[in-house]
Structure 1
């Protein structure tokens, strides 16, 4: 019962942050799930990161569907860019799952820790980039999609922190960039979840299919969706720039803690 409470609180926090700062839930879910799986559920050490990434990506499947519905009602999704990125994202994610499956939990944890540092720098120091005016053709778009999908599978995210800056670089307005990023999260997360089910199927239990831990998914998803509107409401009332600084510092602390736990 206490485990369920942890997952519900985690979903509420992830949903609030997503609505408040426009960041995907994976940024919050992955380090939190690592802690719960390791210290509360005592999951086998060498499978913690694999189960964490798979579970995180599965929750993103459901939240992405909700986001696509909400953004499509406002006709905010840039479907031409989505279609160009799609094949590369799916292929990149599936290959990324195979790579992740071959790596140790320790290496995956270090990879995610460095990713948090990059996101923190992006939040704190980088504004909206202004680059090319024309979105690239299918070849280059698929290369971008492949790299995004590949890395997303290694760290358990929907790719938003990578896709939004890319779309902004090609002069897609911020609202459309966020909406399109939410749409891209679905094929990335779905491909990743399917891959982790197949590769981890021998590890299945009555609570897990492959590496996906269902009690966490079924608690996190509804709590997250319920609290996203709260985050949006707070975004219109609180000083976002100060909140971004605090959250960037928070990510740095988590990253350093994860790195120290691996190296010391």
Structure 2
């Protein structure tokens, strides 16, 4: 072979070597880059796993019984979803709506819609109803009589003095045939002045709902909200008569308008309306509290 041929062959071999080396170098770089990315992703995932989930505190103002007890029951379930449920009980339940308006709490759980409707315009509450939870059938209780038929002429009957529950009490007495209200009542408001028939000439004592159990010894009977009955340690089965299961007075979760779409509120609503909560209510309260879902 000539010197010229050897030179060409040498040039070709050198070129191939450089090409192979270049390919090997590029492949190694790609592998190195891929390994670095995998390692970085692993470290990121490890860091994310090490970081605790951010917990959100949800403050709910509630009546003590049964509202707060129901909320306490669902606390563990919400905890699993990253929500720390804080139950706030105020001495005066009448302050639960102002507290919600003033952003002191995220929601409240103590009232039914007719009550809310009766106060929201006057007080300027811009609220929304998130979930219906239960009905507390209002009932007639007496320390003196065992049947409504024993009520004498002129008997003194205690009734709640807030508009919606007063209407509710008078409607219950009408359903029992003891009085008749005037036609045309289109709101959840009525007083004894709206009675057009009162065969037994019943005398009505209007009082704060919470005071009615203490007033029973001085009355022939009183229509009392079930949560008040439970707080007073009165047996709800001792009612001479009570509302039926079709009552429109379901107790609700109330929030500031717009907050019903918050993720935490939706999770609260879902947790309150499960078969487990339904069973808890039925087992714990019997006829005194009826699930509304």
TM-score, structure 2 as length reference: 0.27
- Decide which structure has greater helix share: 1
Q: Greater relative contact order: 1 or 2 (C-alpha under 8 angstroms, separation 6 or more)?
A: 1
Which structure would you say has the larger Rg? 2
TM-score, structure 1 as length reference: 0.29
- Decide which structure has greater strand share: 2
